[in-house]
Structure 1
Amino acid sequence: MPLAAPSTAPSSARRTAATSSYTALSQAVREAGLLRRAYRYYAWTGAVLVVALGGLVAGFVLLGDSWLQLLVAGALGIVLTQFAFLAHEAAHRQVLASGPANDRLGRFLANGVVGISYSWWMSKHSRHHANPNRLGKDPDIANDTVVFTEDGARAQHRWLRPLTRVQGWAFFPLLTLEGLNLHVTSIRSLLHGTRADRGARALEVAAIAVRLAAYVAAVCWFLPPGLAAAFLGVQLAVFGVYMGASFAPNHKGMAIIPAESRIDFFSKQVLTSRNIRGGALMSVLMGGLNHQVEHHLFPSMPRPHLARARELVRAHCAAHQVPYTETSLVRSYAIVVRYLNRVGLAARDPFDCPAYHRLRGV
């Protein structure tokens, strides 16, 4: 994908038409009841996850000193990711009726169950939703170990450039460390926050510390050191890969919006988002993130209503000639790998390859 608005982006007149008609689309979505809370769905989903977590705890205790515990660890990584999906939906006001109630649920799930900072996630994710794939505004495409723009690749630390050149191939292996990174980054953000929210941050740090300490202590108490370390490693690796593999297909490889550009809300959200085919099963596996276009257009829409909203949004995009991107999960991963590798070429030292600048037309 290009590193700017694609050539298929709607013209100014079409963008104006899309903007003016977005009100009509929103009205159609509301009249269809797609913004109503889905209490039964979330009650059932939460109950299943609680039972699954209880079963894993029971299996952990009963198995004792056995390498079969690594299966429990992998399953635990999956279940904790599903709880993280629920925390994400609570943060978007999808689960309960009021904002404060959703925040309380989200804090409990994120801090107490998953072990990551709810406030850090809210801040980061809100900025992403406001400006997806916009340079300088979307934290999800800011330079890190993996970079998402050619300028970012050129500015990458010298000691990371060998990795950046092959970052597409390294992306999924690196996700095995993402679980640990999420814990560390969220705690670091709480420790370096502003004075204004010091009390709230202290409570959040305490909740996360108790959760993580109790979990590690329990694993180390029941298992010998080597098996305990393997258990924690497998759980964190599965958690990181599952989280990363669920969020990566949504925007990576889609249009990058220049910082100074002006683009309407509807086009901005649709042109930078990618849906994943797969129906109801994919919605369960990805926590509704497979309907990324609809999620970005209507962030407070409960997960079970996104499939119906997809039909309305696709029709709206077709009527206003706004490209609507949807593909398979495997195909999306191939796009992400190819895109990251292409971006990573900008980190190549031209002295390593004399034909580099010539081939790139520089």
Structure 2
Amino acid sequence: MAIADIAAYAHLSEADIEALGDELDSIRRDIEDSLGERDAAYIRRTILFQRALDVTARLVIACSRSRVGWLAGTAALGFAKSVENMEIGHNVTHGQWDWMNDPEIHSNTWEWDMVAVSSQWRYSHNYRHHVFNNIVGVDDDLGFGVMRVTRDVPWKPEHLVQPLRNVLLAAIFEWGIGLHGVHSERDRVGRDTPEHAAARSALLRKSARQVVKDYVLWPALSGRRWRRTLAANGAANLLRNLWSYVVIFCGHFPDGAEKFSADVLEHETRGEWYLRQILGTANFNAGPVLAFASGNLCYQIEHHLYPDLPSNRYAKIGERVRAVCAKYDLPYTTGSLVRQYLLTLRTIHKLALPDRFLIATSDDAPETASERRVGGALGRLRSAHQRQRVRSA
């Protein structure tokens, strides 16, 4: 079953976990103390690049008469939308650039270029997901309410179709995020309350604006070539949705991204919260270009530890976090993008079946671990050895 005792699973004492928290707090302080103009210039350059690429892509789509030109323009537009969605929208809305006190680049004012409403997303994602990461029954992002990604969720006949749901969710990911935000608002304020109705109305208004902009206004501006622009916008949105889906799923559902029971919340310390973020997330290997294209969410572990620190710092933060994980004998889950996604697909397809058709138990399955995996004499020996090693470091 899901991990109920994080300390037992991680074979760490209370003193170890407190020391771990202190070291990770120290990393935060170092980064916060060093933020400055170089970081501010980075996000301003990124916004300028994204907007210039968006305009250039639309001009290529509108002016080119060849299929190659259309494909190049559409691919560029899809990339521009992905950058706006992840490296800018996602990270700005996390408050990573609030320290600049720039009213344009601020979490309370930024509205990203997709159907989801930023204010609703800040609650469903920044709070419900990041604070309660991978806690079964609390974190709504654990399967997004439409898929079973842990054996702690009882199997239902509807799960048989989750491989198809997965494909559909990937294609319409922005709409799924939008509906997810309204669902979280309903849980927060209650069903059919005025606040819930207001949340639904806000999503409808935002969705209508996006649909009109992408599928009416831009095609209309293209005159006789409106079909070309309409198809390009639809394809670019699809590319953005698919890429966002892959990045998010690879950070949360491959083997090694553990799940937790609500028991871990009882008297959870700062160090235990840090530890849960490390155990509950996964990275994928990326160079500078792939990292930028993914919004630096290839560093999902670092992002969950420090969601409000600027994304351009995650690569350097990652070096220090990896060293801390090695010091405390903690897993630092990473792998190639292809590997992480294939592991995610395996879990989605496997857990579509009833448990009686599965081989591994709920305590040692690769997608659902338990502290029982490290129990017994071996676990006690590892714990004693690790405590001694940390004290002597």
- Tell me the TM-score normalised to structure 2 length: 0.74
Give 1:22's aligned amino acid: G
- Post-superposition Cα deviations, 1:50-100, rounded to whole Å, max 9, x if no partner, equal 110111222233247979545533432321121111111112211242678
- Post-superposition Cα deviations, 1:274-328, rounded to whole Å, max 9, x if no partner, equal 1222232232121110111111111111112111111211221222222221211
Partner of 2:385: none
Q: Report the count of equivalent residues.
A: 344
Q: Is 1:260 matched with 2:263?
A: yes
How far apart in 1 are the matches of 2:68 and 2:287? 36
Aligned counterpart for 2:281 among listed residues 270, 273, 298? 273
Give 1:48's aligned amino acid: F
The runs of 5 or more residues in structure 1 that have no matched partner are 351-355
Does structure 1 retain, via aligned residues, the 8 Å contact 2:144–2:180?
Answer: no
Does structure 1 retain, via aligned residues, the 8 Å contact 2:97–2:310?
Answer: yes
Give 2:243's aligned amino acid: Y
Secondary structure of the corresponding residue to residue 137 of structure 1: coil
Aligned counterpart for 2:310 among listed residues 278, 295, 302? 302
Describe the shift of the 1:43–1:148 C-alpha distance in structure 2 as closer, same or farther (beyond 3 A): same
Describe the shift of the 1:233–1:54 C-alpha distance in structure 2 as closer, same or farther (beyond 3 A): closer
Q: Higher mean Cα deviation, 177-186 or 84-93? A: 177-186
- Tell me the TM-score normalised to structure 1 length: 0.79
Does structure 1 retain, via aligned residues, the 8 Å contact 2:135–2:260?
Answer: yes
How far apart in 2 are the matches of 1:136 and 1:249? 21
Give 1:163's aligned amino acid: V
Q: Is 1:114 matched with 2:104?
A: no
1:270 deviation in Å? 0.3
Partner of 1:89: 91
How far apart in 1 are the matches of 2:149 and 2:288? 30
Does structure 2 retain, via aligned residues, the 8 Å contact 1:128–1:139?
Answer: yes
How far apart in 2 are the matches of 1:106 and 1:66? 41
Does structure 2 retain, via aligned residues, the 8 Å contact 1:53–1:76?
Answer: yes
Q: Is 1:42 matched with 2:35?
A: no
1:193 deviation in Å? 8.0
Describe the shift of the 1:226–1:214 C-alpha distance in structure 2 as closer, same or farther (beyond 3 A): closer
Does structure 1 retain, via aligned residues, the 8 Å contact 2:120–2:181?
Answer: yes
Partner of 1:214: 213
Partner of 1:80: 81
Describe the shift of the 1:259–1:313 C-alpha distance in structure 2 as closer, same or farther (beyond 3 A): same
1:346 deviation in Å? 2.2
1:16 deviation in Å? 3.9
Partner of 1:163: 161
Q: Higher mean Cα deviation, 129-138 or 317-326? A: 317-326
How far apart in 2 are the matches of 1:133 and 1:16? 24
Partner of 1:9: 9
The runs of 5 or more residues in structure 2 that have no matched partner are 363-393
Partner of 1:315: 323
Describe the shift of the 1:32–1:179 C-alpha distance in structure 2 as closer, same or farther (beyond 3 A): closer
Give 1:175's aligned amino acid: A
Give 1:42's aligned amino acid: I
1:136 deviation in Å? 1.0
1:202 deviation in Å? 6.4
Does structure 2 retain, via aligned residues, the 8 Å contact 1:150–1:346?
Answer: no
Q: Higher mean Cα deviation, 284-293 or 74-83? A: 74-83
Partner of 2:243: 242
Give 2:93's aligned amino acid: A
Does structure 2 retain, via aligned residues, the 8 Å contact 1:291–1:307?
Answer: yes
Secondary structure of the corresponding residue to residue 134 of structure 1: coil
Secondary structure of the corresponding residue to residue 42 of structure 1: helix
Give 2:279's aligned amino acid: L
Does structure 2 retain, via aligned residues, the 8 Å contact 1:83–1:109?
Answer: no
Give 2:161's aligned amino acid: L
1:226 deviation in Å? 6.0
Q: Percent identity?
A: 19
Q: Equivalences for 1:172-183 in 2 at 5 Å?
A: 174-182=169-177
Does structure 2 retain, via aligned residues, the 8 Å contact 1:95–1:102?
Answer: no
